[in-house]
Structure 1
Amino acid sequence: MTAGHDPVGRDARSIAPADLFDLSGKVALVTGGSRGLGREMVRAFATAGADVVIASRKSDACETVAAEVRELGRRALPVAAHVGRWDDLGRLTDLAYKEFGRVDVLVNNAGMSPLAPSSAQTGEELFDKVIGVNFKGPFRLTSLIGQRMAEGDGGSIINVSSSGALFPQPRFAPYAGAKAALNALTTAFALEYGPTVRVNTISAGPFLTDVSRSWTEDNRRHTRSAVGRPGQPEEIIGTALYLASDASSYTTGSLIRVDGGLY
């Protein structure tokens, strides 16, 4: 392969960097898209030219973000759906394809991370909810949409995992386990739906989203990391755009840590 050329014959010297991140004509579906990191990704994708499906449990919250997308000149479909419910995900998929005819980018972002006093005091209902939202839901939705992507023009699937899977602690063991399982799904689905569908993980560290309101003031200011602080929600955008777009055409089955260098 000659320098400056990729295996499919495109001349890298002729590609403007901004074009690599262009999502014009694409459709993105983001779960947990009404707040936090999901909302930032929705807005970023719309700004890059994509139409967006915003899914979360509350329809009014989805509609609020959909209005923001429309103000950016893109189409938006708000859908109230619970990602831990198998049937909701089938309905979400059908609505997205009915409205847009395709999904090019799927972001499995919805999650829940409750703390428990101890493992012995973790109830079955809480355990099942954590596994359902963080693992069962992404498995089901990726199965439905990834298969359609593979049968069509391909696409990109982004699993939003957590540093909790890499640095687990007893008080959130089910969450850590579910996110570790999500990391494993990334590899399995990358193999199953490749080569035209890319599947990658963002391993997110502590971000100052709504959940951080319950943190101590010290935890809101400092982290045990190379950067030494939690992330601002908008700091997820660069990695999300990279994985959603052609900029990452040779990246699949990967886990990218966006955690400020936790240790």
Structure 2
Amino acid sequence: MTDRGIFDLAGKTALVTGASRGLGRAIATVLAQYGADVACVGRDMKACEITLKQVRVHGRKALALKADMTSEEDIKRMVNDAIVEFGRIDILVNNAGIAAGFGRIHEINTGEWDFNIDVNLRGPFLCMKYTIPHMLKNKGGSIINISSVASIRAEVPEIGSTSYGASKAAINNLTRVAAMQYAKDNIRINAIAPGMHRSEIGKSGKTEEEIKALDKWLDDYCAEWIPMGRIGEAEELSGLVLLLASNASSYITGQIICQDGGKTARQ
């Protein structure tokens, strides 16, 4: 058996939203690798099944849950189903997110703005609202909100959806406020602000050719503007998630940690 040391998650259960692919799949996999059972939340159940297989490879229990992050009833049911299956939730990773409403402010469709805020801000708030009572019963837990470097700096219009950046900036403050509220309850709440990583964000509704063109544009952009000269891979987020989920970060709360290949260091 591998000695996981201070990163050991044996006996813990994680709830990961947006776990059907990309960053969420990488997050669910590393949590299982280090001993956690994982409830994987997504809208695409076929894609979620692939994530479940990766979790089970590590000998952990896995559960697929379908939930709409704009629906309070869905989120309440999601949390309840995870509790029924596993009996506890020790780790919550709010990873589900979208990027819509590209363009300048006067050009943005109000419905797209509202949808972005609902998924990226209201959704994580509701996940925290209904998960925290179970963590209080457990006398502790770790919540990891996936933010973005777009929350702390303006981005070029081609990749910087106004509502996305605004919603992620709000997530940062929600993280800090919640961390203060629950610090004495042994519930640690932090956020990771990824820079450019390969993911499905911004690709919904695009054709295969449009996606290829976007990927090339992102690669070229990263080669020029990211100090490390490349885009990040989904799996490169795993180590930071593991740190914040485990007792290795027992004295870390209320932090927004950038993982961006050095981009924000240029500010």
Whether TM-score is above 0.5 comes out as: yes
Give the match for residue 220 of structure 1.
219
Give the match for residue 198 of structure 2.
208
Give the match for residue 162 of structure 1.
148
Give the match for residue 148 of structure 1.
134
Asked if 1:245 corresponds to 2:246, the answer is yes
**Structure 1: how far apart are the matches of 2:56 and 2:165?**
36
Asked if 1:114 corresponds to 2:100, the answer is yes
Match of 1:199 among 177, 181, 189: 189
Q: Secondary structure at the match of 1:28?
A: strand
Using the TM superposition, give the Cα deviation of residue 68 of structure 1 relative to its aligned residue in structure 2, in angstroms: 2.3
Larger deviation, residues 162-171 vs 120-129: 162-171
Give the match for residue 50 of structure 2.
64
Q: Deviations over 1:87-108 (max 9, x none)?
A: 1110101001111110010000
Asked if 1:256 corresponds to 2:238, the answer is no
Alignment RMSD (CA, Å)? 1.8
Asked if 1:74 corresponds to 2:73, the answer is no
Give the match for residue 29 of structure 2.
43
2:248 partner letter:
A
1:62 partner letter:
C
2:219 partner letter:
R
**Structure 1: how far apart are the matches of 2:217 and 2:49?**
34
Give the match for residue 174 of structure 1.
163
Q: Deviations over 1:60-99 (max 9, x none)?
A: 2222211221232110010011112111110101001111
Using the TM superposition, give the Cα deviation of residue 222 of structure 1 relative to its aligned residue in structure 2, in angstroms: 4.5
**Structure 2: how far apart are the matches of 1:184 and 1:17?**
36
Q: TM-score, normalised by structure 1?
A: 0.89
Q: Secondary structure at the match of 1:25?
A: coil
% identical aligned pairs = 39
Unaligned runs of 5+ in 1: 1-15
**Structure 2: how far apart are the matches of 1:106 and 1:174?**
24
Q: TM-score, normalised by structure 2?
A: 0.88
Using the TM superposition, give the Cα deviation of residue 54 of structure 1 relative to its aligned residue in structure 2, in angstroms: 0.2
**Contact 2:103/2:162, CA 8 A, preserved across alignment:** no
**Structure 2: how far apart are the matches of 1:98 and 1:26?**
15
**Structure 2: how far apart are the matches of 1:254 and 1:162?**
13
**Structure 2: how far apart are the matches of 1:158 and 1:134?**
14
Asked if 1:229 corresponds to 2:230, the answer is yes
Number of positions where the alignment pairs a residue of Structure 1 with one of Structure 2: 248
Asked if 1:183 corresponds to 2:184, the answer is no
Using the TM superposition, give the Cα deviation of residue 166 of structure 1 relative to its aligned residue in structure 2, in angstroms: 1.4
**Structure 2: how far apart are the matches of 1:72 and 1:231?**
24
Change (3 A) 1:73 1:221: farther
Larger deviation, residues 49-58 vs 65-74: 65-74
Q: Secondary structure at the match of 1:120?
A: helix
